[in-house]
């Protein structure tokens, strides 16, 4: 019999809809109430409510607390896997933080729900059951942190929320899910080729995220610099280009030893130094801006926060994002 640890952090999966007002809010009913009977004799479950937070309230400090709790629990007892329930708005960021932080070969699976527990078509209990199946699967080892939603298994690095309300919201553009779940089985059809892990002890760095747009100037970038940030992530245009009026502001930020990581606001493709015009990727890379591939802006921000706890050396940072 497999032994699975479930850590609850809040979110829609633990909420209920008020049938009179339509408002969805926190509930006293534990999402495990119906689950124990379903798994009787199949899986040994130990669960704990770590915190009860809507996911927009989750901070990097909470992610660090969650990661430390996973380490502590795994050190004290021989669990076969860990499942985390989480709100969906920032689920991908917490999952990616844990993917970079947690040091274990055992499966760590994050799941949630798009519909509260008493709504028609509620998906929470089914997603939780699927997540437990994956966490109990020997083949799920050594794959980093996984996100299980709507019968699909995604890597924390690639998955993103794509719809505000659709139960099939979590997708891995360009890469696809690495596996699927059925009522009885778990199937993996991709292998991980790389997994980064960084044993930080604290989160103290402030990193901002901005998105480029047509006609953008350096005003916002200067304001971010003056706010006292330690780093900046920019969702640039296309393959990694910026409007020319932003270049001087980015150069001032670099001159103040504030690293800039560049991703694309496109949801597919990679950033690269193709274009040589003012504000083009070639000029930005030559200035010392770091190009990051395979992650969204919010995830690049998470990684830069973690990276800056270890180094501020531009060469080392570039290597960490390559």
pTM score, two decimals?
A: 0.94
Tens digit of each residue's pLDDT (9 = 90 or more) over 201-226: 999 999 999 999 999 999 999 999 99
Active site annotation includes 12:
yes
Decide if 242 contacts 250 (C-beta within 8 A). yes
Residue matched to tokens 């050190």: 75
Decide if 101 contacts 306 (C-beta within 8 A). yes
Tens digit of each residue's pLDDT (9 = 90 or more) over 58-92: 999 999 999 999 999 999 999 999 999 999 999 99
- Identify the pLDDT of residue 16: 73
Residue 149's contacts (CB-CB under 8 Å, 6 or more residues apart) are: 111, 112, 123, 127, 130, 167, 169, 170
d(CA 227, CA 103): 34
Residue 259's contacts (CB-CB under 8 Å, 6 or more residues apart) are: 231, 232, 290, 304, 308, 312, 314, 317
Options 12, 88, 90, 104, the catalytic residue: 12
Residue matched to tokens 């270049």: 247
Residue matched to tokens 């689920």: 91
Q: What is the mean pLDDT of the chain?
A: 93
Q: Is residue 4 pLDDT above 60, yes or no?
A: yes
Instruction: Give 3-state DSSP helix, strand, coil % of the chain, rounded to 5.
Output: 30, 20, 50
């Amino acid at each position: 019999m497999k032994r699975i640890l479930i850590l609850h952090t809040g979110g829609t999966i633990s909420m209920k809809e008020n049938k009179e007002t339509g408002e969805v809010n926190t509930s006293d009913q534990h999402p495990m109430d119906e689950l124990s009977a379903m798994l009787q004799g199949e899986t040994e479950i130990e669960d704990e409510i770590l915190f009860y937070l809507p996911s927009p309230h989750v901070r990097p400090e909470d992610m660090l607390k969650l990661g430390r709790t996973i380490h502590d629990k795994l050190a004290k007892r021989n669990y076969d896997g860990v499942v985390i329930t989480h709100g969906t708005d920032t689920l991908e960021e917490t999952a990616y933080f844990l993917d970079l932080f947690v040091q274990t070969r055992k499966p760590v699976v994050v799941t949630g729900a798009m519909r509260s527990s008493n709504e028609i078509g509620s998906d929470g209990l089914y997603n939780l059951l699927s997540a437990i199946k994956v966490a109990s699967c020997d083949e799920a080892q050594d794959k980093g942190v996984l996100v299980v939603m709507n019968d699909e298994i995604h890597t924390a690095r690639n998955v993103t929320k794509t719809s505000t309300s659709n139960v099939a919201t979590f997708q891995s553009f360009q890469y696809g899910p690495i596996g699927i779940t059925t009522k009885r089985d778990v199937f993996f059809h991709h292998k991980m080729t790389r997994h980064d892990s960084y044993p930080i002890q604290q989160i103290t760095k402030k990193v901002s995220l901005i998105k480029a747009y047509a006609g953008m100037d350096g005003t916002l970038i200067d304001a971010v610099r003056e706010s006292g940030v330690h780093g900046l992530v920019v969702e640039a245009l296309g393959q990694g280009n910026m409007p020319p009026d932003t270049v001087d502001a980015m150069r001032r930020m670099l001159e103040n030893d504030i690293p800039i990581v560049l991703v694309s606001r496109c949801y597919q493709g990679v950033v690269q130094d193709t274009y040589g015009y003012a504000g083009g990727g070639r000029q930005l890379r030559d200035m010392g801006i770091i190009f990051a591939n395979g992650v969204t802006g919010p995830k690049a921000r998470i990684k830069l926060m973690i990276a800056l706890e270890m180094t501020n050396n531009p060469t080392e940072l570039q290597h960490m994002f390559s």
